[in-house]
Amino acid sequence: MPGTILFDLFHTLLDGADAQRDRVVARMGEIVGVDPSALVRAYHDSWPERLVRWSAEETVRVLAGRLGVAPSAKQVARAAALRLELASWLLNSAPSSTLVALDGLRAAGWRLGLVSNATAEVAEAWPGSGLSRRFDAAVFSCEAGVAKPEPGIYRAAAAALGVAPSGCVFVGDGADGELAGAAAVGAAVVRTAEFVDRSRVWAGPVVGSLAELSQLLGEVPAGRGVLQPGASTA
């Protein structure tokens, strides 16, 4: 019987576009007057911080400050706008096969939630994306103030959908320990290898694409069934 599925975003519904991110941040460095490669490094190094705090503009200001530069408000706004533009583009780059799979699950009666470790510009761009209208709830770490694999972010998404985490299936590529985190709150777990194959982090059920998900879930009579959380080998 269909229930609730919580999806990860990057490398699950769409590609992470890591190379584009670095190119955009380098351009932002030029705009605010810091060494582009130093700003790219600062963005990478501050990932755990950016996940749970700061707007796009605050991030530019803080990271430029750490590199010894105090950009003007105009420079900060121009740089942050590039980041937002990238997020909008990314969210609209989901393959049509992803959209078809999500539509199929919804048509079959599944309720869909998003649980994403994401920085501010992604949450800001989300409502304008074609993905957002396919979801009944979305929780972003930057807004929740807590990131996967912490229990609170899964619980917040489940609560937004009016269910317990143990009544959900979590689907993700496995970054940030998200599969073990989902299993720890009692969710059934499916790993996707469509964009990146992290087979070393999860030994449970896996799909090669979201198109395979409905068949796999169809084999689960009551939400859990064969999808008992797999053993982590990490």
Q: Using CB under 5 A, list all residues that contact Mg ion.
A: 8, 10-11, 173, 175
Kindly tell me which of 76 and 175 has the beta carbon lying closer to Mg ion: 175
Kindly tell me which of 8 and 121 has the beta carbon lying closer to Mg ion: 8
| Residue 210 C-beta: closest distance to Mg ion, Å | 13
Question: Could you write out the DSSP letters of every residue in 154-190?
Answer: HHHHHHHTTS-GGGEEEEE--GGGHHHHHHHTT-EEE
């269910």: which residue's tokens? 163
The region that residue 11 occupies, defined by phi over 0 for left and psi between -120 and 50 for alpha, beta otherwise, is left
| Residue 174 C-beta: closest distance to Mg ion, Å | 7
| Residue 79 C-beta: closest distance to Mg ion, Å | 25
Kindly tell me which of 10 and 43 has the beta carbon lying closer to Mg ion: 10
- Tokens matching residue 15: 């590609």
């490094």: which residue's tokens? 41
Kindly tell me which of 152 and 177 has the beta carbon lying closer to Mg ion: 177
What element of type H or E holds 7?
Answer: strand 4-7
| Residue 172 C-beta: closest distance to Mg ion, Å | 6
Kindly tell me which of 10 and 154 has the beta carbon lying closer to Mg ion: 10
Output the CA torsion 161→162→163→164 (10° steps): 110
| Residue 211 C-beta: closest distance to Mg ion, Å | 18
What residues pair up with 45 in beta bridges, in sequence order? Answer: none
